[in-house]
Structures are given as structure tokens and as C-alpha cells.
Amino acid sequence: MRRYVNEIEFVVGLIGLSLFLLMLGGCGSPSRVVILQHPATRQTVECRVDPLGDMRRRTQIKNCVNAYEQAGYSVVGDSDNY
């Protein structure tokens, strides 16, 4: 009986370790950067969000890009499309 308890503890520990490593791997992902350029002035700007920041980072990037596009900028580069 004790043998099975040890095996169950071992499996639960492996599952816990696996989940921790998966979460840790997500935290180390590079930040997304979107580069926009104004066609008339040729000025470039970046929309960037730190991956360790807010969980709404996709929404933050989208809002940043939308704001610049409304001002006449267009996307010339996106690190998600490499």
C-alpha cells in the first residue's frame, strides 16, 4: 500500500513540476513589437508591450495600432509575423 502512495505522490509532483515549467516558459516569451510608419512624414513609431506586464497585452497592442492607424500610420513590421 505504501508503494502506491509513493507512486501517486511522485506522479502528482511531476504534474506540478510540468505545469510550473509550462507557465515559466510562457513568461519568458519575447515581447511583441509592431512598427508603424506615416507615409507623408516617414516617421516611424513602435507599439510594444512587455510580456510580463498586463494579461491584456494583445488588446493593448491592438489599441495602440488602431490609434496610430487613425492618425494615418500604417503597419510596416510585426514581430508576430516573422
What is the rounded distance in angstroms from the CA atom of residue 44 to the CA atom of residue 73? 8
Give tens-digit pLDDT for 44-75: 999 988 666 666 778 889 999 999 999 999 99
**The predicted structure's pLDDT at residue 34:** 93
pTM for this one?
0.59
Selection from 73, 76, 77, 78 nearest residue 38 by Cα:
73
Q: Residue 74: beta bridge partners?
A: 37
In percent, the amount of the chain with pLDDT more than 70 equals 59
| DSSP-derived secondary structure for 28-76 | TSPPEEEEEE-TTT--EEEEEE-TTS-TTHHHHHHHHHHHHHHTT-EEE
